[in-house]
Every structure is written in structure tokens, then in C-alpha cells.
Amino acid sequence: MQTTKSHPKSLFPVSTHYCAGCGHGIVHRMIAETFDELGIQDRTIGVAPVGCSVLMYNYIDVDTIEAAHGRAPATATGLKRVRPDCIVFTYQGDGDLASIGTAEIIHAANRGENFTTVFINNAIYGMTGGQMAPTTLIGQKTETSPYGRKSENEGYPLRACEMLATLEAPYYIERVSVATPAKIRKAKKAIFKAFKYQVEGRGFTFVEVVSTCPTNWGMSPTDAMKWSEEYMEKAFPLGVFRDRGAEKDKTETGADK
């Protein structure tokens, strides 16, 4: 009898500060597994965001720096330019990446900086207590959209993958979800691919994970997963928005000709 799924070496076997059912833990696990599988834990530098996951270094066992709110891609740029042989990643939430840090992510992506961004989109500010995010859905009630988000006043949910896919430089952009075990398996593949591309020095890689915030959504974890599948994934369609690696393979093998 063998363990087929054991605790990742790059993840401390500790209890997290995240609420019950929070998607961060799932994504942390997938990232840590990726480090183990690629054998890169010892040369990886994480850039923690401002938000619930600022404490990700309590769980993911790699060198880490905290960035100012939204600035992780700029900080990662500096790190990677000095240490091109290190694997650098930012882990950012929707307020961090899609609101206060919009400029930083777009320009790091546009420069094709050779690092990986894992973007957790759960359509709400978690740490500050449930305020509206740029990705909050139309009609979704939050502390700062108590009557539901209205497009006339607050605009529409901001789609980071689609926006970044208008740029030439990014090498890989995919949106995944953690709503079901099957989707989580797919998400893991995307995260693995993003880091693998970075190891190969291909350029900027970006994985958006549609996640949940049961606490601030006011739902049970199980209902949050259902809601995410039903509503979040409609507003944020899953899929590959850019995969230069796959394009290259096709060209090389003539598979698409």
C-alpha cells in the first residue's frame, strides 16, 4: 500500500489562517506540488500580496518578500532581473491585481517579464471584510455595494485574462477554477505549465484561478463552490487565452496545417 497523494514537501504541514472552505489552501497546495515536481523549491522566490494571502509564506516554504498593495509585479520584476536563474512568482488577489495594481500587472506582462503570476479571483476583498472588488459580479452585494453592484455606477467585472491577452508579450494565460475536483485537476495542470514555461525561460505566464470567499459571500463552502460554478464562471469563462508553447508545437508538428 502506497501513499498516492502525500503532503507536498514545499508546503508546511500546518493549519492555515484561512477561513473554512477558502480556495487559497487549494491553490497553495497546487503551487507547492508544482515546486516539488519541477524541483525548484530551492531556487524559488515568492512575492506575497496585500490581502488574506500576505501570509502565504507561513505555508509555502520558499524565500518570500511582501510587496506593497498591487506592486507585486514591479517587485517581482526587480527580483527576476537581478536573479534570472531564480523562479519568481507573484500571488495576488483581485483587489491587489485588478484594482490598485492594474498598471503594474499590465506593464510587467507587456514587458514579458519572465515570472509567473497566480491571480486569485473571488470577486471580493477578503481581508478588509468583504468590499466590492473590480471583479465583483453585477448585482453582487458586498459591504460597499450593499444594493448590488450596478454597472451604471461601478462598471462591469474586470476580466484580467482577456485584458492581458490583448498584449503581444505574455507567453501563457489561462483561467481555471477550483469549483470541482475535476476543475482543480485542470487548474493544477495550468499552474504546472506556467512554472514549467518560466523554468524554460519562455516569458510571462499568468494563471487566473476563479475561487471563492464563503465568509464574505455569506455562504457555506459547498454553496460557494456551486455559486462560483454557476455565476463566476459565466462572468469569467474558463480556458486558455494564450499558449505560445502550444502554438509553437502546432507549428513545429504541422498539426494544425
Partner 1 sequence: MKQLMTGNDAMAEAAIQAGCRYYFGYPITPQNEFTAYMARHMPQVGGTFIQSESEIAAINMVMGASAAGGRAMTSSSSPGISLKQEGISYIAGDQLPAVILNVVRGGPGLGNIAPAQCDYFQATRGGGHGDYRCIVLAPSTVQEGTELIQDAFDLAEKYRNPVLILSDGRMGQMMEPVEFKPRPKVETPPKDYILTGKKGRERRIIRSLFLKEPELEAWNKIIQEKLMKIEENEIRYETKMVEDADLILIAYGTCARNSKEALRTLREKGRKVGVFRPITLWPFPYYALSEVVRGARAALVVEMSAGQMVEDVYLAVKGTRPIFFYGRMGGIVPSATEIVQQSEKIFTEKM
Partner 2 sequence: MPPNDKPYIEIVADRCKGCELCVSVCPKDCIELDTGAVNVKGVNPAKYVGGCVGCGSCVQVCPDVCIELYKEEKAKKSA
Whether 212 and 230 have beta carbons less than 8 Å apart is answered as no
Helix (H) or strand (E) holding 247: helix 244-253
**Cell 455559486 appears where?**
227
Minimum distance, C-beta of residue 10 to partner 1, in the bound complex (Å): 10
Alpha carbon distance 43, 45 (integer Å): 7
- Report the candidate in 29, 208, 8 with the shortest Cα–Cα distance to residue 116: 208
Using the rule CB under 8 A, give the single segment among 81-89, 131-139, 153-161, 177-185 that binds partner 2.
177-185
**Residue whose CB is less far from partner 2, 27 or 164:** 27
**Residue whose CB is less far from partner 1, 17 or 250:** 17
Per partner kind, with CB cut-offs from 5 to 8 A, the member of partner 1, partner 2, none near residue 104 is partner 1
Q: Cell numbers at residue 223, please?
A: 454553496
112 touches partner 2 by CB under 8 A: no
Going by the DSSP 8-state scheme, the letter that residue 19 receives in this structure is P
159 touches partner 2 by CB under 8 A: no
Collapsing DSSP to helix, strand or coil, 108 comes out as helix
Collapsing DSSP to helix, strand or coil, 236 comes out as coil
**Binding to partner 1, residues 91-110 (CB under 8 A):** 103-104, 106-107
By CB under 8 A, name the one of 81, 185, 248, 250 that touches partner 2: 185
63 touches partner 1 by CB under 8 A: yes
Alpha carbon distance 91, 136 (integer Å): 19
71 touches partner 1 by CB under 8 A: yes
Residue 70 forms beta bridges with which residues?
none
First to last CA, the chain: 47
Minimum distance, C-beta of residue 127 to partner 2, in the bound complex (Å): 16
Residues that bind partner 2 (CB under 8 A): 1-8, 11, 13-16, 18-26, 28-29, 178, 180-181, 184-185, 214, 220-222, 225
Residues in contact with partner 1 by CB under 8 A are 41-45, 47-48, 54-55, 57, 61-68, 71, 74-83, 86-87, 103-104, 106-107, 111
